[in-house]
């Protein structure tokens, strides 16, 4: 039986490490590849890179910023995506007014830490709201995430933040999704809440059920890998 090509799209400052814990639990027929965003500073450019290197038809899963990139892939070439998974992500453009200003402020604080104190210092702050509170005392687990972030430079961080701040609204993309879609959120994800994922599901014509992974925060594939893989295997079956 032919292998099923599955492209895994990581989030901000993440790489294959963010997906690795769940991979041993995936169906052996799935040929998974984690993409790399390189030095891109635009979600559209990231999507174009994926399409340039991808098989003719493939399954696509994006986490966090990677979910937004996956939606740009869907905007550009929906006919090439057989199935779609959106994890811990969003779909709106940066808000105007105070909400948008507050997002900009928070991101600039992290950029300033990376610039003045180094990426590791930034990662130590970044990780605190990104996992379930119960996991913050697991120093080995938290260090895995920090080490992953430290493999990328301050320049990459700056470029990816620019991509996120310039993100397009993807409501129109979601409203045209015809492929089988998995929508997944961490129960303790305060950045990309289960309620936000319900909004995403409601915009998709098929109205998929939202899989809420608990107890998990934003980094669900690392926090609850076996449970996430179980949902993936059902989605890809």
At residue 3, the pLDDT reads 81
Confidence of residue 1 (pLDDT cuts 50, 70, 90): low
Fold for 1-237, please state it.
Answer: Rossmann fold (3.40.50)
At residue 4, the pLDDT reads 83
Q: Which residue reads 């400052």 in tokens?
A: 13
Average pLDDT rounded to a whole number, residues 34-58? 98
| DSSP codes of every residue in 106-164 | HHHHHHHHHHHH-HHHHHHHHTTTTS-GGGTT-HHHHHHHHHHHHTS-HHHHHHHHHHH
Average pLDDT rounded to a whole number, residues 195-201? 98
pLDDT tens for residues 72-106?
999 999 999 999 999 999 999 999 999 999 999 99
Q: What percent of the chain has pLDDT over 90?
A: 97
Spatial distance between the Cα atoms of 23 and 208, rounded to a whole number of angstroms: 23
At residue 153, the pLDDT reads 98
pTM above 0.85, yes or no: yes
Report the Cα 89 to chain-centroid distance in Å. Answer: 6
Task: List the chain domain ranges.
Answer: 1-237
């Amino acid at each position: 039986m032919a292998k099923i090509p599955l492209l895994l799209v990581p989030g901000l400052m993440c790489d294959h490490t963010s997906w690795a814990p769940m991979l041993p639990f995936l169906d052996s027929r799935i040929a998974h590849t984690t993409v790399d965003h390189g030095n891109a500073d635009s979600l559209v450019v990231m999507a174009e890179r994926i399409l340039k290197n991808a098989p003719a038809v493939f399954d696509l899963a994006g986490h966090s910023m990677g979910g937004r990139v996956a939606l740009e892939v869907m905007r550009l070439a929906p006919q090439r995506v057989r199935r779609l998974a959106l994890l811990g992500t969003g779909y709106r453009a940066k808000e105007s007014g105070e909400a948008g200003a507050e997002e900009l402020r928070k991101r600039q604080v992290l950029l300033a830490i990376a610039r003045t104190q180094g990426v590791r210092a930034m990662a130590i702050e970044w990780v605190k709201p990104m996992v379930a509170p119960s996991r913050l005392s697991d120093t080995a687990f938290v260090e895995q995430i920090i080490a992953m972030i430290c493999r990328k430079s301050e320049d990459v961080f700056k470029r990816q933040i620019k991509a996120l701040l310039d993100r397009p609204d993807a409501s129109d993309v979601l409203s045209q999704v015809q492929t089988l879609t998995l929508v997944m959120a961490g129960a303790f994800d305060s950045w990309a809440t289960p309620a936000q994922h319900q909004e995403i599901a409601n915009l998709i014509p098929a109205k998929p059920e939202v899989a809420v992974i608990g107890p998990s925060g934003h980094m669900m594939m690392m926090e609850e890998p076996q449970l996430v893989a179980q949902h993936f295997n059902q989605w890809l079956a």
